[in-house]
Chain A
Amino acid sequence: DTGVSQDPRHKITKRGQNVTFRCDPISEHNRLYWYRQTLGQGPEFLTYFQNEAQLEKSRLLSDRFSAERPKGSFSTLEIQRTEQGDSAMYLCASSLASQGGQPQHFGDGTRLSIL
């Protein structure tokens, strides 16, 4: 169990630029989740995949956000035309889908700073 891996750990970019983050889940986990965490708050759900299918997207996920999991393994989260309000920690988690209550295992996150 190598854990959930996220890359990069930190990203600094100018407003209006596009950014892409990568998440590698625990290998046998078929569910993958993205959350966003702002300073002093708990994580907020963005979207989740079961295998390669994106099954739910939060209303927080505007049209500028897109997530993919093309082969049911790693996932990418892209933000287009970044805005100041996108500054946050983006967390990825994975879990088994065998039954309810399976704990989600989190990566260390990608911290995005918009200049």
Chain B
Amino acid sequence: AQSVTQLGSHVSVSEGALVLLRCNYSSSVPPYLFWYVQYPNQGLQLLLKYTTGATLVKGINGFEAEFKKSETSFHLTKPSAHMSDAAEYFCAVSDRKGYKLSFGAGTTVTVRA
């Protein structure tokens, strides 16, 4: 069984500061990894994904994440926060069959002016 742990349910950053959201997974084999963003009363939008290959993955809106197998981590970063980054972020994992997603509990990001 796979599971995802997101450290920190809330993160507050100043506009222009680094955004760092932590995600650790447990899986018997390297899974596929995803980050999604959710704005209020909306569905989830894919930010980026890791399947194979380069472990540093770039996504939309300036976000990137690095897959570290030895640490079973897939942390999400953005060098400079923007007010529009205020949202809830979910890390998710699927097995190599590639269908069912298991999500973390989410991290809410607030951006201070």
Are the C-beta atoms of A109 and B106 separated by less than 8 Å?
no
Residue of B with least CB distance to A43: B103
List A contacts of B98 (CB < 8 A). Answer: 99-102
Residue A21 at the B interface, CB < 8 A?
Answer: no
Say whether A85 faces chain B, with CB atoms less than 8 Å apart.
no
Cβ contacts under 8 Å, B99 to chain A: 31, 33, 48, 55-56, 95, 97
Whether the Cβ atoms of B42 and A108 lie closer than 8 Å is: yes
Cβ B105 vs Cβ A42 within 8 A: yes
Chain B neighbourhood of A55, CB < 8 A: 99
Q: How far is the CB of A69 from chain B (nearest CB, A)?
A: 14
Number of A-B contacts (CB under 8 A): 69
Cβ A41 vs Cβ B105 within 8 A: yes
* Chain B nearest CB, measured from A94 CB (Å): 11
Q: How many residues of B contact A (CB 8 A)?
A: 28
Q: Is the CB of A101 within 8 A of B104?
A: no
Neighbouring A residues of B52 by C-beta, 8 Å: 101
Map CB proximity to A onto B45-59 as digits: 1 under 8 Å, 0 otherwise. Answer: 110010110000000
Complex Cα distance A101/B52, Å? 9
Q: How far is the CA of A4 from the CA of B43 in the complex (A)?
A: 10
The reply to whether B44 and A43 form a contact with Cβ atoms under 8 Å apart is yes
Task: Indicate if the CB atoms of B102 and A91 lie closer than 8 Å.
Answer: no
- The residues of A with any CB-CB pair to B shorter than 8 Å are 4, 6, 31, 33, 35, 40-45, 48, 55-56, 91, 93, 95, 97, 99-109, 111
